[in-house]
Amino acid sequence: MEPQATGRKAGPFIKHCPCSPGSVSCGYVNLNLQEGCPYDCSYCILQAYLEDKSRPAFYTNWDDMEAELRGFLAANREVRIGSGELSDSLAYEARRPTAARIADLFGALPEAVFEFKTKSDAVRALLRIARPPANIVVSWSLNPAALARGEERLAPSLARRLRALAAVQERGYKVGIHFDPLVLFPGWQGHYRELVRTLSRLVRPDRVAWWSLGALRFPPTLRPHILRREGSRLFWGELIEGDDGKFRYFTPLRLELFRFLRDELRARLSRELPLYLCMEPATVWHEVFPELPAQEGAINRYLYRSALAAEH
């Protein structure tokens, strides 16, 4: 077991989700309650952000966090906020249980939508809550099993994640899906099509708060971490350094990815599925989702209202 640290967080708990220059923001807000992650995903940005991401740090001054949160919510409307930026939201539940406390806190703050974003299957505490708050979303980051086995080491298998998703959906929670990062690798269309088919048999569209599509992207500082991994498929598709300084697929390749997944999801689940793009410029938004204004306020409002409108 890796060592851990606990202590007071000196800086703010809340910050707007960082968005690449030139990309359209979705208006998401991060609530950082801890740092580090036990999973070993090849594309994880924490490898470049944190000195040692396998050594978690847990913040203890929750009273300060709650005061900051209440002040933030008093000054902002239609807030979508989550704890998955510097750590997986549920990965450390066995070591430091916080899910029930967070759900209880946000159950008393119904004007905000809170998201647990995870690759974990540690949902027992959430399943024990008698009446899940209407403003809680439990989201999973998913990739085809063939890709997850090689690129998402130490994380629960796709099958385990899907069982956890089915359980919280049945319990009455809103669910979210993040196809992020979408990766080009041999036979990608068939693998992603099969993943969508599997999800179409499991996910109820009326319980989906939101579903993101984000193509592989990373800053130069992450490149050496990926190159050290034998057998990684992340460099199978050709990448270039974009205007934001991040390595990305050419725009035509990203459009192919997004259109393929958009069409598969709409055909197999629902044409009303609340889809959105992560870290893309307005030009790409216009090509993929021309019906939705490529503006932060409009996107955030659309996703916020989608989360609260999904049936229980």
> Which domains are seen in the chain, by residue range?
5-309 (3.80.30.30)
Determine contact, residues 205/199, Cβ cutoff 8 Å: no
The residues, any chain, with a CB within 8 Å of residue 130's CB and separated by 6 or more, are none
pLDDT in tens, the chain (312 residues): 555 678 899 899 999 998 888 999 999 999 999 999 999 999 999 999 898 898 999 999 999 999 999 999 999 999 999 999 999 999 999 999 999 999 999 999 999 999 999 999 999 999 999 999 999 999 999 999 999 999 999 999 999 999 999 999 999 999 999 999 999 999 999 999 999 999 999 999 999 999 999 999 999 999 999 999 999 999 999 899 988 899 999 999 999 999 999 999 999 999 999 999 999 999 999 999 999 999 999 999 999 999 999 654
Cα 309 to Cα 135: distance, rounded to the nearest angstrom: 10
Determine contact, residues 31/69, Cβ cutoff 8 Å: yes
Look at residue 226 and give its three-state secondary structure: helix
pLDDT at residue 41, rounded to an integer: 97
pLDDT at residue 20, rounded to an integer: 86
User: Beta strand 79-82 with 57-59: parallel, antiparallel or unpaired?
Assistant: unpaired
Radius of gyration of the chain (CA): 18
pTM of the model: 0.96
Determine contact, residues 14/30, Cβ cutoff 8 Å: yes
pLDDT at residue 28, rounded to an integer: 98
Cα 121 to Cα 159: distance, rounded to the nearest angstrom: 10
Distances (CA, A) of 132 to 55, 138, 310: 31, 11, 14
Determine contact, residues 302/205, Cβ cutoff 8 Å: no
pLDDT at residue 312, rounded to an integer: 40
Say which amino acid occupies 17.
C
Distances (CA, A) of 27 to 20, 78, 162, 239: 13, 9, 27, 27
CA angle 143, 152, 52 (to 5 degrees): 140
The residues, any chain, with a CB within 8 Å of residue 288's CB and separated by 6 or more, are 213, 255, 258, 259, 262, 277, 280
Say which amino acid occupies 181.
P
Which tokens sit at 114? Answer: 């809170």
pLDDT at residue 2, rounded to an integer: 58
